[in-house]
Amino acid sequence: MTDERHGGGLVGALSLASSGLKTISTLRRRRLWAKAQIRNWMDFVCVTVFVICPVITSAIAVAAEARQPCLSVTDPAFHSMLPPNTTGT
């Protein structure tokens, strides 16, 4: 279950990064940035917002989830999740 959440977060970040790169490509094709300076500045902003930020955010979330301790068999919280013993043994 934890691996699915990690994978889902990473897949979501990569999907957002991919759509960000498509947006940059579309804007370049339509020549919405006439001057080279503005184009380079906008490239930097778009890559940072659409690609780098989601990947970093997802990596931080995955690391935070991985640091949470797992329940062990000797942990009382683990036994409280088990159904009561109805066999009488």
Q: Is residue 87 part of a domain?
A: no
As for how many domains the chain has, the answer is 1
Residue the block writes with tokens 């960000």 = 20
Q: Note whether 81 and 22 are within 8 A (CB).
A: no
| Model confidence, pTM | 0.37
Query: In this structure, is residue 84 part of a structural domain?
Result: no
Residue 8 lies in a domain: yes
Residue 27 placed within a domain: yes
In this structure, are residues 20 and 49 in contact, taking their beta carbons and an 8 Å threshold?
yes
Q: pLDDT tens across 7-20, in order?
A: 556 666 667 777 77
The 10s digit of each residue's pLDDT in 52-61 is: 887 788 778 7
Tell me if 81 is assigned to some domain.
no
Residue-range definition of the domain harbouring residue 6? 2-63
